[in-house]
């Protein structure tokens, strides 16, 4: 596959993947260009054992890691869940907040009880909101495996939550 075609098919998603990790439009554009430059240099090493998009996401992930390692101050700062709970107290009634907090604790406990492969996939897809392609690149597994693990993890999590008597949506 020609690099120009790869760029047409995957350029926007690669850019969004990078931007989501670094939060800077200009740098994300530069890194996306570097991804496709690296891809053009390494096209001979692409063995076709995975999807082209998986290979490109792997290159993008390495570029993002390099970018963040060069300047750790560029990383996003995420607030602790405890601080977020305290900030919502003024907006919610005390009883509603207690119910919400209990529900989140149940979900957290049940996710922790899942086997490692299921816990990883729930974390990257459900919590970190990665696309299947991003999860595939991050976990170094084929997209089909991402889909099957996610399906199994959802079924297992629903079963664990039902056993606990937690209210389920859908």
Average pLDDT, the chain: 76
Burial of 35 by CB count in 10 Å (0-12 exposed, 13-18 middle, 19+ buried)? Answer: buried
Crossing angle (nearest 10°) for helices 25-42 and 52-70: 130
pLDDT for 95 equals: 63
Q: Are 29 and 15 in contact (CB under 8 A)?
A: yes
Is it the case that residue 29 has pLDDT exceeding 80?
A: yes
Q: What is the residue-wise DSSP string for 99-147?
A: HHHHHHHHHHHHHHHS-HHHHHHIIIIIIS---HHHHHHHHT--HHHHH
pTM across the whole model: 0.45
Domain-by-domain residue ranges, the chain? 2-74, 94-164
Of 6-10, 79-83, 101-105, 152-156, least confident by mean pLDDT is: 79-83
Q: Which CATH number fits the domain 94-164, given the four candidates 1.10.10.10, 3.40.50.300, 1.20.1050.10, 3.40.190.10?
A: 1.10.10.10
pLDDT tens digits, residue range 38-96? 888 887 776 666 677 888 888 898 898 888 877 655 544 443 444 444 444 445 456 65
Q: Are 97 and 86 in contact (CB under 8 A)?
A: no
pLDDT tens digits, residue range 157-169? 888 877 766 555 4
Task: Name which CATH class applies to 2-74.
Answer: mainly alpha
């Amino acid at each position: 596959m020609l690099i120009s075609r790869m760029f047409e098919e995957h350029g926007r998603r690669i850019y969004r993947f990078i931007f989501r990790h670094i939060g800077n439009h200009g740098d994300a554009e530069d890194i996306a260009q570097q991804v496709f430059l690296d891809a053009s240099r390494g096209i001979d090493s692409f063995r076709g054992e995975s999807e082209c998009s998986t290979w490109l996401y792997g290159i993008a992930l390495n570029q993002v890691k390099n970018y963040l390692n060069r300047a750790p101050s560029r990383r996003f700062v995420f607030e602790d869940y405890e601080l977020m709970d305290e900030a919502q107290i003024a907006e919610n009634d005390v009883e509603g907040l207690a119910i919400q907090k209990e529900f989140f604790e149940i979900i957290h406990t049940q996710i922790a009880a899942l086997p490692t492969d299921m816990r990883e996939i729930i974390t990257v897809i459900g919590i970190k909101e990665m696309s299947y392609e991003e999860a595939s690149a991050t976990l170094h597994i084929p997209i089909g495996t991402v889909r099957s693990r996610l399906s199994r993890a959802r079924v297992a999590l629903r079963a664990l939550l039902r056993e606990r008597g937690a209210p389920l949506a859908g």
